[in-house]
Amino acid sequence: ACDVCDSGVPRSHLVSFQEDGGLLRELYTHDGIGTLISPEEYEQLRAAEGRDLAGILELIRPLQQQGVLAERSNEDIERLLDHFVVITKDSRVVACAALIVNSADNIAEIASVATHPDYRDSGHGERLVGRLVNMAKESKVRRAYVRTTQTGHWFQGLGFIAGSEAELPESERQKAKAARNSKTLIRAL
């Protein structure tokens, strides 16, 4: 299989003959059942690009409708696209999150953390938040914060502590949507 890839074939798949229906599952499901051999990365964590916009919207829309994520219009997401990082599998966006840095007030917001239901509990959210925390440190802000309605315990496991809107600069307090009744968690960098 490696020799085939070295000869220019972009991918080869190893599928066990012992797995009933294995070939069909490999061909007709996104993650398959076999082993993929390819010279290119199948899963990537990277900065979002224009081609990722539809995938990001597909991830966050259901969570916005459930009240888990703050409402943002398609135009808002497109405007913030440069702030997003994504995890892709075979060019399909499976997780996303945004870092919105406010250098003037020395703080950054982590927003729109979302993972496709098929990939929850795979560590993607943790990887994204870890990357965003590192990016916030690189931008020299002293604190990062999140607003959440349901996942406060998860963010606490990532080093955020319960805070209040009063601890945020006025410019960040103005962004809060009172109707969401979200909790604010803050992490010192």
Q: Residue 85's closest CA among 76, 75, 98?
A: 98
| CA pair distance 58, 52, nearest whole angstrom | 10
Q: Residue 5 carries which side chain, given as an amino acid letter?
A: C
Tell the residue number behind the tokens 């499976």, with chain if given.
Answer: 94
Is the separation of the CB atoms in 141 and 110 below 8 Å?
Answer: no
What's the pTM?
A: 0.81
Neighbours of 164 (CB within 10 A): 10
Q: Which CATH number fits domain 41-188: 3.40.228.10, 3.40.980.10, 3.40.630.30, 3.30.70.3340?
A: 3.40.630.30
List average pLDDT for each run of 10 residues in the chain, which is 189 residues long.
71 76 74 68 89 98 93 94 96 96 96 95 96 97 95 97 94 80 94
Structure confidence at residue 174 (pLDDT): 87
Structure confidence at residue 175 (pLDDT): 85
Structure confidence at residue 1 (pLDDT): 62
Q: Residue 81 carries which side chain, given as an amino acid letter?
A: L
| CA pair distance 117, 126, nearest whole angstrom | 15
Structure confidence at residue 11 (pLDDT): 67
Structure confidence at residue 72 (pLDDT): 92
Euclidean distance between the first and final Cα of the chain, in Å?
46
Q: Where in the chain is the domain with CATH 3.40.630.30?
A: 41-188
| CA pair distance 180, 178, nearest whole angstrom | 5
Which residues does residue 107 pair with via DSSP β-bridges, in sequence order?
A: 102, 143
